[in-house]
Amino acid sequence: MNKFLISVLSISIFTSIALDAAVYKGQREFVKKCVKCHKSGQVFVSTKKKREWNVFMKNKGEKLAEVHMQSKNEDAEDSHEYFESRGFTKNSKHLKDFLFEYAADSGNVPACN
Ligand code: HEC
């Protein structure tokens, strides 16, 4: 496990105390599934507004899955299994709660910077 991931994880554990359960579940999903590619973590989340995340996360994350499935970028390939899985659609609601919590216009500053 690299240093960055360890710091993300410890920050997650620390901040989770203040977050409600849904946001926490979404954060756990994000750390587990997204950070390996989107390495700036919560900072990446804060590059988009709620409205933008809403577009990605509508219909159980349909658009988010589409962006990755249709990407010509070969780095996106490793995400295909996840975006096709039931785990993704199942957790997409929590993920959305988390993305909203740290969106650019949420008023919440990312824990790591
Ligand atoms: C295996 C690597 C990988 C994983 C896992 C992954 N992504 Fe991506 N993601 C990419 C790549 C590569 C692109 C660029 C696609 C393109 O533009 O062709 C991308 C694009 C995006 C975009 C749109 C581009 C932008 O910045 O506006 C968003 C939003 C996004 N990812 C969010 C997520 C979220 C949230 C997760 C976790 C549920 C996730 N990604 C998991 C590799 C990944």
Residue nearest to atom 17 of ligand 1 (CA): 71
Establish whether residue 2 lines the binding site of ligand 1, counting it when its CB lies within 6 angstroms of any ligand atom. no
Rounded Cα distance between 47 and 81, Å, is 25
> What is residue 111's predicted lDDT score, i.e. its pLDDT?
60
- Are 38 and 102 in contact by the 8 Å Cβ rule? The answer is no
Rounded to the nearest 10°, the torsion over CA 110, 43, 9, 50 is 70
- Are 103 and 50 in contact by the 8 Å Cβ rule? The answer is yes
Rounded Cα distance between 83 and 15, Å, is 26
> What is residue 2's predicted lDDT score, i.e. its pLDDT?
78
Chain center to CA of 98: 7
Establish whether residue 76 lines the binding site of ligand 1, counting it when its CB lies within 6 angstroms of any ligand atom. yes
Establish whether residue 66 lines the binding site of ligand 1, counting it when its CB lies within 6 angstroms of any ligand atom. no
> What is residue 107's predicted lDDT score, i.e. its pLDDT?
86
> What is residue 8's predicted lDDT score, i.e. its pLDDT?
73
Please give the chain's pLDDT, 113 residues, in tens.
578 877 777 766 655 555 578 888 999 999 999 999 999 998 999 999 999 999 999 999 999 999 999 999 999 999 999 999 999 999 999 999 999 999 999 988 666 54
